[in-house]
Amino acid sequence: MELNTLWFCLIAVLWTGYLVLEGFDFGVGMWLSILGKTASERRAVLRTIGPVWDGNEVWLLTAGGATFAAFPEWYATLFSGFYLPLFLILVALIVRGVGLEFRSKLEGPRWQRRWEQAIQVGSWIPALLWGVAFANIVRGVPLDANHQFTGTFLGLLSPFALLGGLATTLLFLSHGAVFVALKTQGTLRTRALGWAKRMALPTLGVSGAFGLWTQVRYSVAWTWPVLGFVALALGAAALSVWREREGQAFTFNCLAIAGVVVLLFGSLFPDVMPALDPAHSLTVQNASSTAYTLRIMTYVAVALVPFVLAYQGWTYWVFRQRVTVDELTPTLGEG
């Protein structure tokens, strides 16, 4: 395997880690005021992701950095052409991060509610726009001979792209509800399982429709089994939710999201940024860095990535216990 193809695959792996881990973070944020009826319950919901959410975002930084180093033309075209949606995602992530850090700094209910609203908004926007962005990358965008984006923001809001945004939103909502059920007890767990049951069929239907559209219109023959795998994983997740086996459901959701990433990147290859005019497309060949750069990156990745994975795995193990509302001391204004 050539190094540029290897790094295309590694970037897909990084996006898989980000969407699987940050996916339930987004879901928890979107469910915050629905699952948490009181301030104590909302605090318990946030504590399910409290020790890990910032570590999960590292996957996005790493994916962006790897794209910049391995495929600089892809990075430049992507961030210039998708400037507005990516800027909105960045602002939303900042707002959500500030909300998670600042909510507990004061005990006033008005202060806490405002930051809780910021967390929710900062979770909904990326959940939707990541799907829109990836759908557009797979569909292809208008590029000129210099690989410059020549379209508009409204041009990115095609029916296919909007369906992609709806699919990722529902996937993350289901993922988040199952994660809250996995990490809590009592009323919160019951409420989260109830919403996970309600979300199972809509998620399967919309995600299946998006996957089928992707496969038929934009993908290749070898990704048909991948689409089947995604459908089976989502079906198994739904069945596990109905049996109230949230651990199994969470595992199947992770596998389904990973399968979606494989489907999307498999549909792209050997392009990294398809153009509506195929002659102007960016590929793993014409968008990549030099062989020397890719070789140095490979050595660094082999040396450092195992330590990063070990540390994050250790973090999840340390904070594996379930969160209960009773163990949290109420603060001023909590009802």
Residue-wise pLDDT for 96-122, tens only, equals 999 999 988 887 888 999 999 999 999
What is residue 327's predicted lDDT score, i.e. its pLDDT? 53
Neighbours of 104 (CB within 10 A): 15
Q: What average pLDDT does range 130-151 have in this prediction?
A: 93
**Which residues lie below 8 Å from residue 292, measured CB to CB, with a gap of 6+?**
none
Neighbours of 251 (CB within 10 A): 17
Per-residue confidence at 326, pLDDT binned at 50, 70, 90? low
Q: Is the pLDDT of residue 140 over 70?
A: yes
What is residue 333's predicted lDDT score, i.e. its pLDDT? 38
What is residue 109's predicted lDDT score, i.e. its pLDDT? 85
Tokens of 103: 């909510």
Has domain 3-318 been given CATH number 1.20.1630? yes
Q: What average pLDDT does range 143-158 have in this prediction?
A: 90
**Which residues lie below 8 Å from residue 120, measured CB to CB, with a gap of 6+?**
29, 30, 32, 33
Q: Which of 87, 111, 89 is nearest to 99 (CA)?
A: 111
Q: Are 220 and 201 in contact (CB under 8 A)?
A: no
What does pTM read for this prediction?
0.93
What is residue 332's predicted lDDT score, i.e. its pLDDT? 37
Number of residues in the chain:
335
H runs (alpha helix) in the chain: 3-35, 39-47, 53-70, 72-81, 83-102, 109-139, 159-183, 186-218, 224-242, 246-268, 291-318
Q: Which of 274, 275, 273 is nearest to 143 (CA)?
A: 275
Per-residue confidence at 331, pLDDT binned at 50, 70, 90? very low
Per-residue confidence at 320, pLDDT binned at 50, 70, 90? confident
| Mean pLDDT of the residues in the chain | 92
